[in-house]
Amino acid sequence: MDTATVKLQQRPFSIKLWPPSQNTRQMLVTRITGNLTTKSIFAQKYGILSKEEAEENAKRIEDVAFVTADKHYEMEPDGDGGSAVQLYAKECSKLILEVLKRGPAQKDRAVQASEEVAASCNNVFDISKGPRSFINAREAEDILRPLKEPGNSFSKICFSNRSFGLEAACVAQPILVAIKDQLKEVDLSDFIAGRPEAEALEVMNMFSSALEGSTLKSLDLSNNALGEKGVRAFGALLQSQSCLEELYLMNDGISEEAARAVCELIPSTEKLRILHFHNNMTGDPGAFAISDVVKRSPLLEDFRCSSTRIGTEGGIALSEALESCTHVKKLDLRDNMFGAEAGIALSKALSKHAGLAEVYLSYLNLEDEGAIAIANSLKESAPALEVLDMAGNEITAEAAPALSACVAVKQNLSKLNLAENELKDEGVIQISKALEEGHLQLNEVDMSTNSIVRAGARVLSQIVVQKPEFKLLNINGNYISDEGIDEVKEIFKKLPGMLGPLDDNSPEGCDDDEEYGENDGDQHDLESKLNNLEVKGDE
């Protein structure tokens, strides 16, 4: 054995089973076509598909299975793709069985969906129902046919959950150009799933240019992994909008640069009432750009900027921007890292939100200092507050007096969430007493994971069970004794559905969490998995 061979054998390597090559995908389409045209018990009962119908269904089946498996693989990017391959084969098998049982000469699913769309509502065209799937040119012609009918009155279109490639986009583009002047609401969320970046960007450009100049009230571009390139691909559409009232950019991978592009490309937000910016990678620098958009939106009523990796500096900037939005009714800033300093800045903005009905501030690292500032502010403002969510903020009993004073005057409160804090019995009992008088609309309280023992659980239960609209109390994950659990269950004896599960309660105050190792199972070669594809199922 020569030296080169020895080095080759010693060199570490890894095999990626996903994604499959185009040749492999075509091979599977051919095999599925064979399955659909072979005599079997299903063929005897339901009939044999023609070759043309079988080929068309085989392509659709492979497309749907690929999109499903690829989405699964995106959640496990560090794996070798073995589980994605398994899902790919399983989905193909399931869909083959559905087609065989359906039999030949059935209407194409796209045509059926088109008819359902036309019959559903006079002004809403929605193709989002049913399984996720790729759309080819022929399916696009069929499914979009109602939009071409003269005199149609569609003012809202929803293309979500269907993946458009270049061929389908070429079909859609002239149709959208023809109807753009009558459109008021456009939902393009999750409409390029599974497409290569270059193709996805071109599709977005085509849709953007087609809709440029429309006068939209609502635009949803969520779940498209836009990034800066994607945001700019929609530049023509965004820049042409001056009457937007609702804008949704959730789960779009919007970084600092992409956030700046959003700020740059939306010239006017004077009429904006709803801005949802959930689950992005904005960070503090990006928060400054979003803050500029907020500052230009004086009519903003519903602002969601949750799970965006914003820290103290960005939190302060957003809070200061919100001071000019005096019409806010719903505010959702959950799952960021504001800290106490940003919490104090936010309290100043909240003092100006007299119409606030729902406020979601969980997992912001507010600590007692930030929580007290916010509670004091809300006490003097937002008289009609219905939802107060401040879970997971490291709040202790020190903040309980301020929280109690705030809660006591919020007689419209329907939901109170203070889970995953350190209030203990002292804090929980104080807040419970604040709920004792009135609060006739209260229907849900969450005090789980607060180091509560028997006394706190008993007092809270005795108070909420008397509320006429009450539906659910969550005190799981605490340190309530067995005797305390029995007492609580007795309190809810006549209304057991109001009491949440207590399976995570730890009477001894110990940690019962168990760790489980992962067992990924044996990994197999992609080709062998697909070769073993079978149709399984009962008649």
Q: Which stretch of DSSP H or E encloses residue 399?
A: none
Predicted pLDDT of residue 100: 79
- The Cβ of residue 462 has, within 10 Å, a number of other Cβ atoms equal to 14
Predicted pLDDT of residue 197: 93
Predicted pLDDT of residue 7: 43
Distance CA 210, CA 177 (A): 5
Strand pairing report for 415-417 and 387-389: parallel
Predicted pLDDT of residue 87: 84
Predicted pLDDT of residue 4: 45
Question: What angle do the packed helices 283-295 and 256-265 form, to 10 degrees?
Answer: 20
Predicted pLDDT of residue 107: 44
Predicted pLDDT of residue 77: 61
Cα separations (Å) of 187 from 136, 210, 348?
19, 14, 35
Return the DSSP state at 48: P
Number of H helices, E strands in the chain: 21, 15
Give backbone dihedrals phi and psi of 204, rounded to 5 degrees, phi first. Answer: -60, -40
The segments of the chain whose pLDDT lies below 70 read 1-16, 39-47, 76-79, 105-121, 509-539
Predicted pLDDT of residue 42: 61
CA 136 to chain centre: 26
Q: Is 388 helix (H, G, I), strand (E, B) or coil?
A: strand
22-102 and 123-238 share one fold: no
Rg (CA), the chain: 28
Return the DSSP state at 234: T
Domain boundaries, the chain: 22-102, 123-238
Please write the tens of the pLDDT for every residue from 348-376: 999 999 999 999 999 999 999 999 999 99
Return the DSSP state at 163: E
Predicted pLDDT of residue 119: 43
Longest dimension (CA), the chain: 88
CB 305 within 8 A of CB 277: yes
Output the DSSP codes for 172-229: HHHHHHHHGGG--EEE-TT-STT--HHHHHHHHHHHHHHHTT---SEEE--SS--HHH
Q: Which CATH superfamily is domain 123-238 in?
A: Ribonuclease Inhibitor (3.80.10.10)
Distance CA 448, CA 505 (A): 9
Type of residue found at 197: E
Identify the bridge partners of residue 473 per DSSP, sorted by sequence position. Answer: 445, 499
Distance CA 242, CA 279 (A): 26
Output the DSSP codes for 485-532: HHHHHHHTTT-GGGB---TT--TTS----------------HHHHHHT
Q: What's the fold here for domain 22-102?
A: Serum Albumin; Chain A, Domain 1 (1.10.246)
Q: Which stretch of DSSP H or E encloses residue 264?
A: helix 256-265
Please write the tens of the pLDDT for every residue from 206-253: 999 999 999 999 999 999 988 999 999 999 999 999 999 999 999 999
Question: Which two tokens mark 534?
Answer: 């079978």
Strand pairing report for 246-248 and 274-276: parallel
Distance CA 301, CA 321 (A): 14
Predicted pLDDT of residue 20: 84
